[in-house]
Amino acid sequence: MVKKNKELEVAFLGGVGEIGKNMTAIKYANDILLIDCGSTFPSMDDTPGIDLIIPDFSFVKENLDKIKGIVITHGHEDHIGGIPYLLQECGNIPVFGSSLAIALIKHKLTEKKINMPKLNVVKGGDKKNIGVFGVEFINVTHSILGAFALSITTPAGVVFHTGDYKIDYTPVDGESIDLGRIADIGNSGVTLMLGESTNIEKKGTTISEKEVGITLQRIVESNPDKRIIIATFASNVNRVQQIINICEKVGRKVAFDGRSMVNISEMAKKLNILDYKDNTVVPIEEIKGIEPSKLCIISTGSQGEPMSALTRMANGEDKEVVIGEQDVVAISSQPIPGNEKAVYTLINNLYRRGAKVLYGSLEQLHVSGHACQDELKLMLSLVKPKYFIPVHGEYRHLKKHEELALSMGIPKENIKLVDIGNKIVIKKKSIQFSDSIEAGEVYVDGNSNVDSLVLRDRKQLSTDGVVILLLNINVENRQLTSVDILTRGIVFDEEFLEEMKILTEDTFATSSYKNESERGGLKNNLKRKISRVILNKLKQRPMVLPLLIEQIKEKSEDEE
Ligand SMILES: [Zn+2]
Ligand SMILES: [Zn+2]
């Protein structure tokens, strides 16, 4: 009997057609390897009251016996934010990642009191056998330390995943992207490349992180009498290191403000990836006696996040830091699309308190962590994949990345543009779509998951309010004893309220009320009729909730 060639399958659970909640599964025979498990921060407009959006894990749950492990490209939230929920729902899956990524994951699991899985720390150049897959971790430069590309060897060929990267020839920590190794892997033959697409719309190359250090140094030096406050992403340890180096040089103390800034800096110091003298850092609670000219505060809140340290300062609500004319505030980030309004409100409020604020593109206060067109071209030309799938981008990014690959000679039939839920099969001579998998998004609200119906209700409640019809019914004779109408977020005058009560009574009188299905019919009738009258009169569409309350008998006062 001829042994059938086994196929390589790649399923997309998140991170395609969107920037956020990255998650991919690679399957060969009876083994599955997961890559990343991220989350997305929700927007107030589309998803009111939601804390977090994570991938739908149905595919993982259905294939639990085949899952051999999850490899993490780096510790950003869009790559690790879903892990606590994955482990909670799917049990113990071994996790592989850089020391920083693993420390960040451990912190999340401890906070949520989730059983620790086997956490494996790997470094650039390491190779691990995970089921049938031989996974090599390759150093890349990005806006967080400990970022990897992955070369995954399977019996059906090599899959190369770029992870998030830029090509920084002068990295702050001296650990550059391992272009030599990537070229070697490319020369030995790569079957499929998954390439990140975030900055495909930008020409040229991304500026080195070192440039931000130069700008920050100039800001510190040209404001020798002022207190300096720099807001940036806590996970950008390289940038925090640069700020600390500048402060040590000019003799300023450093204080960290904001929960994640304090946590991650502490973590990074323990891992020896953040380095400073013992007397450089002072706790934020102890900054009182320090002269403005001798202090620099590194804080969270560069995106105007409502609960962050910088927002508290700008609103005059921070316990330790009172903003005034002695302050220069540098916002070392770009607003992520959707956050602009919050960031500009923050800037306005800082100005109102008398601070000098530095932000935006006038100064090189921030550089991206993602590859621009020339870097994307270099990566494709080194890896030289047979098949190519652009990832980590909205549809337009993926489309543009396809165009770039076409311009470099990859044939159209060898490129696939994918969506969440798609599965790709690589056969001996082709790459094809196969049956879709169950996938999508799950909304996390506090400790529970909610669905899209809940969201629709929330939107309706927030714009048009709610009308509750309480029908008190005597269950013995099936007669309506009274109707109460409660409203929230919408106002009825006395006359209209009476009209609604009469309509409710009439509707009840003309309906049958015997079994479950008739009761359902009555409720629907009430919803429809009342909604229509409200729409005609008040031009509003509140949620209408009829409640049928069956009373065994009328309660008399003394029974209570
Ligand atoms: Zn990233
Ligand atoms: Zn990312």
Ligand nearest to the CA of 392: 2
The answer to whether 152 and 159 have CB atoms below 8 angstroms apart is yes
Interior/surface letters 405-440, b for 16+ CB within 10 angstroms, e for the rest: beeeebeeebbbebebbbbbbbeeeebeeeeebebe
Please tell me the distance between residue 31's alpha carbon and the centre of ligand 1 in angstroms: 27
Please tell me the distance between residue 142's alpha carbon and the centre of ligand 1 in angstroms: 7
pLDDT above 90 for 205: yes
Please tell me the distance between residue 79's alpha carbon and the centre of ligand 2 in angstroms: 6
SS (H, E, C) 192-243: EEEEECCCCCCCCCCCCHHHHHHHHHHHHHHCCCCEEEEECCCCCHHHHHHH
Q: What pLDDT is recorded for position 489?
A: 85
pLDDT digits (tens, 9 = 90+) for 207-239: 999 999 999 999 999 999 999 999 999 999 999
Please tell me the distance between residue 368's alpha carbon and the centre of ligand 1 in angstroms: 10
pLDDT digits (tens, 9 = 90+) for 529-541: 999 999 998 888 8
Q: What pLDDT is recorded for position 461?
A: 76
Kindly report whether the global pTM for this prediction surpasses the value 0.85.
no
Residue predicted with more confidence, 363 or 305 = 305
pLDDT above 50 for 333: yes
pLDDT above 60 for 512: yes
Averaged pLDDT score across all residues of the chain: 92
Q: What pLDDT is recorded for position 5?
A: 59
User: Residue 420 — very low, low, confident or very high, per pLDDT cuts 50/70/90?
Assistant: very high
Q: What pLDDT is recorded for position 557?
A: 45
Residue predicted with more confidence, 463 or 140 = 140
Average pLDDT over residues 431-456: 80
Nearest Cα to 388, choosing from 160, 79, 154, 157? Answer: 160
Q: What pLDDT is recorded for position 163?
A: 98
User: Residue 471 — very low, low, confident or very high, per pLDDT cuts 50/70/90?
Assistant: confident
Q: What pLDDT is recorded for position 553?
A: 59
Ligand nearest to the CA of 36: 2
Ligand nearest to the CA of 15: 2
Q: What pLDDT is recorded for position 492?
A: 87
Interior/surface letters 276-307, b for 16+ CB within 10 angstroms, e for the rest: beeebbeebeebeeeebeebbbbbbbbbbbee
Half-sphere exposure of 441 (CA within 13 A, CB side): 24
Residue 71 exposed, middle or buried by CB count within 10 Å (0-12, 13-18, 19+):
buried
pLDDT above 70 for 69: yes
pLDDT above 90 for 424: yes
Ligand nearest to the CA of 147: 1
The answer to whether 284 and 257 have CB atoms below 8 angstroms apart is yes
pLDDT digits (tens, 9 = 90+) for 98-134: 999 999 999 999 999 999 999 999 999 999 999 999 9
Q: What pLDDT is recorded for position 43?
A: 67
- Checking 454-460 for CB contacts under 8 A at 24+ apart, the result is 455/46, 455/47, 455/48, 455/50, 457/543, 458/48, 458/49, 459/48, 460/541, 460/542, 460/543
The answer to whether 544 and 467 have CB atoms below 8 angstroms apart is yes
Domains of the chain: 8-204+368-450 (3.60.15.10), 209-358 (3.40.50.10710), 465-559 (3.10.20.580)
pLDDT above 50 for 2: no
Q: What pLDDT is recorded for position 307?
A: 87
